[in-house]
Amino acid sequence: MVRRINSNQPDFSSAIDAFVALDRASVADVSDVVRDIIADVRANGLTALQRYTKTFDHFQLNECNLRVTDEDVERTEADCNEDDLVALDFAAKRIRVYHERQLPTDERYTDDLGVTLGWRWTCVDAAGLYAPGGRAIYPSSVLMNAIPAKVAGVKRLAMVTPTQGDELNPLVLAAAKRAGIDEIYRIGGAQAIAALAFGVEMISPVDVIVGPGNAYVAEAKRQVFGYVGIDSVAGPSEILIVSDGKSNPDWIAADLLSQAEHDPSSQSILITDDQKFADMVCASVDRQLRDSPRREIAQAAWDNHSAIIVVSTLEDAPTLINRVAPEHLELAVDDPEYMLGKVRHVGAVFLGRHTPEAVGDYVAGPNHVLPTAHAARYASGLSVLDFMKRTSIIGCDDTALRKIGPSAARLADAEGLPSHAQSIRVRLKD
């Protein structure tokens, strides 16, 4: 049964603290196993990939079938439902247009002392994308991870995806085609992350790795960070909905379950000021769960990690939102803009009663790769900036150096770095 918390109860604050502190991401420690896999791939390359692929994916990998060909993509697209392809095209266009507006601009100026300053943005040379296989087939994630890279200007985008007995999901390949992915390889798991990070025969290393995966993939991304950049080490999905009693309880229940069905460790939270409405939502969740094909998953998330929080006034909601720092926030209230102005920590916000979180997962345009596990306190969703880096620009002529150099040399002396100071003073003497 879902956890109920009421602001009228004497231990409300401690109950919220305990709920926020729930550890939903606890998994078996796979760090040693992943470390061994990475070392094996670095040492033995394709031979290691073949061994792991045969063991875990039951597929005999070789130099001829490692890379998915353009012909494979075109052939499998014929197996896709035409309406699904139309929806992919629609989503890809909206995602691309949104991310094009994120492109940063270069800047160059001369300050009042005559020093030329500025910055320049450039993209990475190559990026890698992990696309899960097995039960987790997410063509939408392929679009969300790949399109920002291409918008940023990345010339080479390589995707890895595990194959189960030589079977690749046609819709995932169709999404890869629409996103402009350049290379696709039939490998998965920690070994695929190692191959992207360090390179093996036929696969050149990349600069950034993005995309979701299981505990082994997440740990592998954590361990290769520093050699390459990564998007994040994502935790289970979460949604927080603020609603008054005017919303349709069936809509709110469906939105809560939209995240609960992802994983048994997902989290769904409702904050409301209407006890009767809270009861109606709970009853609707129970009804919808009975008919859900993913009932076992969603029920576990609802019972073990979710909560209904009843407050005396929705004016208290922003404080709770900022404590939770949720991945997704729905504001199903009369004036969502007013409440948005008081919210600081959240991955993505959905305004009004007619904006379910699911539109953000697929076709709204903003990226659905978002910070989880309270990381919205300091992190943002995936964007074109994850595939770009900023270079500072500094230029002095003789006059400008004579104005700023003495202070720099003085600070170098204070730090005990005489050659730093000398590199400035030798110019000032001439």
> Is residue 328 annotated as part of the catalytic site, yes or no?
yes
Q: Is the distance from CB of 159 to CB of 143 less than 8 angstroms?
A: no
Query: How far is C-alpha 139 from the geometric centre of its chain's CA atoms?
Result: 15
Beta strand extents in 228-341 (DSSP E only): 229-230, 238-243, 267-272, 307-310, 328-332
DSSP track, 49-73: HHHHHHHHH-----TTTSBPPHHHH
Beta strand extents in 183-327 (DSSP E only): 183-185, 208-210, 229-230, 238-243, 267-272, 307-310
Q: Which of 99, 262, 328, 345 is catalytic?
A: 328
CA pair distance 263, 241, nearest whole angstrom: 18
Cβ-based neighbours of 249, under 8 Å, separated by 6 or more: 277, 280, 281, 283, 284
Count of other CB atoms within 10 angstroms of residue 82: 7
- For tokens 């094996």, what's the residue? 40
> Is residue 327 annotated as part of the catalytic site, yes or no?
yes
- Token output for 414: 């204070």
Q: CA angle at residue 327 from 353 to 85, to 5 degrees?
A: 75
Relative orientation angle of helices 46-57 and 31-44, to the nearest 10 degrees: 130
- Token output for 92: 């890809």
Cβ-based neighbours of 293, under 8 Å, separated by 6 or more: none
Q: Which of 183, 219, 238, 327 is catalytic?
A: 327
Residue 75, classed as helix, strand or coil, is helix
CA pair distance 155, 127, nearest whole angstrom: 9
The conformation of residue 180, written as its DSSP 8-state character, comes to T
Tell me the chain's radius of gyration from C-alpha atoms: 25
* Most distant CA pair in the chain, distance: 84
Burial 44-59 (b: 16+ CB within 10 A, else e): ebbebbbebbeebbeb
How far is CA 287 from each of CA 107, 253, 284, 392, rounded to the nearest angstrom? Answer: 56, 9, 5, 57
Active site residue ranges = 327-328
